Chain A
Amino acid sequence: MEKKNNAIFQRILENRNKVLTIVFLALIMVIVGNLKPWFGSYWVRVFNTCCIYSMVTMSMNLVNGCTGIFTMGSPGFMCIGAYTTAILTLTPEVKDAVYYLSPIAPWLRELNTSFPVALLLGGLFAAIAAFIIGFPVLRLSGDYLSIATMAFSEIARVIMLNAQSITNGPIGITKIKNHVTVWVAFMALVSVYVLLRLLMRSTYGRALKAVRDDPVAAEAIGIPLFRTKMTSFIISGFIAGIAGGLLASLVGTIDANQFVYSYVNQFLLMMILGGNGSMTGSILGSFVITTALEVFRFMDEPIDFGFWKYPGIGGMRMVLFSISLMLIVLFWEHGIMGSNEFSWDRIIERVKKLVSSIRGLFKRKEEQA
């Protein structure tokens, strides 16, 4: 009997990482499942936003961190995805009400699909846009490339703003049905994460990193530079498009001005905080920053310290937020994860180190005594 127990224990030890992952996932599932009763619907919404932002940040990280091309076009892709999802999920009757100033194009009025289809189509359109602009843009290098993607994003926004019969112009689209439950957001996040992790571990992912680290050497060993960059750009566009669609559905109303080029700053900062090149880091960065922005809300309200009454200054949280971000960039440029991915081995190693250093501390004290 004891032998058998030992054998089971041995097998668990051998598969330690897998077991830990399963336990960890189960724990997260429990938390996610009970998010509403435990934290209330406000934090559920924050969680959903976190998930969506994580997806955008990961999509940027795939191009910026892993492939090493500094693009800033995410708002453009999100914009395309958001509008596609919004228009396709509205029923014709609702569309008539929403497009009250000037009617929607007739062929578009009848179009109506289910949410997942609309979402995928949104991603697809964003991917197609990435494919089209990839041809000119990816031939550029360095700073010129980031400027060109920024220009694309802005052009997409202004076109959306003016295409009255399709996007309802500056009024934007309202009354979008909210399909984003906790589970939808969570599963979308997990699937994007798993997909990208697998991708980065494949031959293709290694090709991306080779392109980033030394384009000349990469080309010399037979990696097609342009095609590799293009594929990562398209995948990134696809994910950003889907995230845009989810965002539209979550918020319930979109207008093009939401997607100004400076919207990308937020995701860049999340990416840097998490660690450039680390998908896990992107998720952590997005969660930390989005949650921090919510938590900092107390700054805008008056606080009574007893000896001094803080009057509550509107916008103070954004100042605090930008100061902390500056400090992160200045003093902690590698972010939370550096370019490492999540791994149990590293965590356990860290814990062991921590334990042994604490032990060392006590030992020294004993010796001194």
Chain B
Amino acid sequence: MPFDVLIQQICNGLVLGCVYALVSIGYTITYGIIRLINFAHNSIFMLSMYFAIVFVTMLALPWWLGFIIVIALTAIMGVLTEKLAYHRLRNRGAPTSTIKIAALGVSYLIDNVVIVIFSGRPKQFPTVDLLTDVFEIGPVRLQRTAIIVPLVVLVLLVGLTYFLNHTKPGLAMRAVSRDMEAARLMGIDVDKTIAFSFAIGSGLAAIGAILWGQRYTSVIPTVGSMPGMKSFIAAVIGGIGNIDGAVIGGMLIGMIEVMVVAFFPGLSSYRDVFSFCLLLIVLLIKPTGIIGEKVADKA
């Protein structure tokens, strides 16, 4: 493989991995706090892409303003799902499997509402020239996303880590994820903290969706299912409940997906299977993921 193609592929893997990492943080945060695999997360991802179409393409807002509104709205949607669906079940002490099914129901509902409003026909995601322009370093031609996406993700991760480790709400989040009852006794507003974690997860998913849309511009109501699934796998591989793990898992999945197809083009139709196989292997060797710690199974 020529050198420039190799560099290009590495950058592709990096971008893909970064998006997966952002989305998988949402899965991991909600799992870490309320032990729920939030099956609605991929629908939230999809929803934010449609928000972007509404605000940037249809209402023709400046892209930066539009994207900020999109991120905020998606975060609100995430909180809404938690308040309307999971909150009630959790307070009634419903078993985890019921909450899991409620999450499936939420996902189903969002998908169907989007289909009714926007129809199933593909729509164009508003791309931003600032992000998608191509530049050249010697023989290597790269999209600007190859630089910008990892930078954005790096900044977000540093911010998130700082938030979790050095601020009061972050401390509250960690406390709730360690022991909800004890946290409540210490005077932490558990419901607020959980809602906040949903907001963060959904907001990051929205950023991931915007970055994803710069690369894959066709938006259909099922657009979230594959990236959602892969990010979910990434979260599990890294050790669900652990943010560093989610990032490592996301990068791993993104890189492997791009690299295997780059080196073995014959396998390209199997590209969606790699991550699933990797998942099975990791689960067999170390069921708690690469850097996951053992969590009590509350099921």
Contact = CB atoms under 8 A, between A and B. Distances in A.
Given A143-B299, A313-B116, A151 B97 contact: no
Interface stretch (A5-13, A34-42, A224-232, A268-276): A268-276
Contacts of B232: 147
Given A154-B273, A268-B101, A272-B101, A147 B37 contact: yes
B272 A333 contact: no
Given A151-B276, A315-B115, A326 B37 contact: no
Interface string A135-159: 0100111111011100110110011
B233 A268 contact: no
A158 B229 CA distance: 14
Contacts of B141: none
B276 A154 contact: yes
A272 B97 CA distance: 10
Interface stretch (B104-112, B156-164, B251-259): B104-112
B109 A322 contact: yes
B100 interface: yes
A104 to B, nearest CB: 19
A249 to B, nearest CB: 28
Nearest to B92: A333
B284 interface: yes
Contacts of B97: 64, 70, 276
B104 A265 contact: yes
Interface in A245-300: 260-262, 265, 268-269, 272, 276
Nearest to B98: A333
Nearest to A169: B269
A140 B283 contact: yes
Contacts of A314: 116, 119
Given A143-B37, A272-B101, A326-B102, A136 B284 contact: yes
B225 A262 contact: yes
A315 B117 CA distance: 9
B28 to A, nearest CB: 12
Nearest to B108: A322
Contact of B102 (A162, A261, A329): A329
A192 interface: no
Interface core residue of A141, A147, A276 (most chain B CB under 10 Å): A147
Contacts, number: 114
Interface residues of B, number: 44
A151 B232 CA distance: 11
B117 to A, nearest CB: 9
Given A319-B116, A322-B108, A326-B109, A142 B299 contact: yes
Given A140-B287, A147-B283, A158 B115 contact: no
A333 B233 contact: no
Nearest to A327: B105
Contacts of B31: 143
A146 B240 CA distance: 14
Interface string B79-117: 000000100110000101110111011111100110110
Given A141-B297, A322-B112, A333 B94 contact: yes
A329 B98 contact: yes
A141 B283 CA distance: 10
B299 A322 contact: no
A330 B102 contact: yes
A330 B89 CA distance: 7
A325 interface: yes
A120 interface: no
Interface in A98-157: 136, 139-144, 146-148, 151-152, 154-155
B186 interface: no
A132 to B, nearest CB: 12
B283 A333 contact: no
A318 B299 contact: no
B283 A136 contact: yes
Nearest to A261: B229
A70 B287 CA distance: 16
List 3 tightest A-B contacts by C-beta distance, closest first: A322-B109, A318-B112, A151-B276
9 contacts: A142-B96, A143-B31, A143-B37, A144-B283, A151-B280, A152-B280, A154-B229, A315-B115, A321-B112
Given A144-B236, A330-B85, 6 more contacts: A141-B287, A147-B279, A147-B283, A154-B273, A269-B105, A322-B112
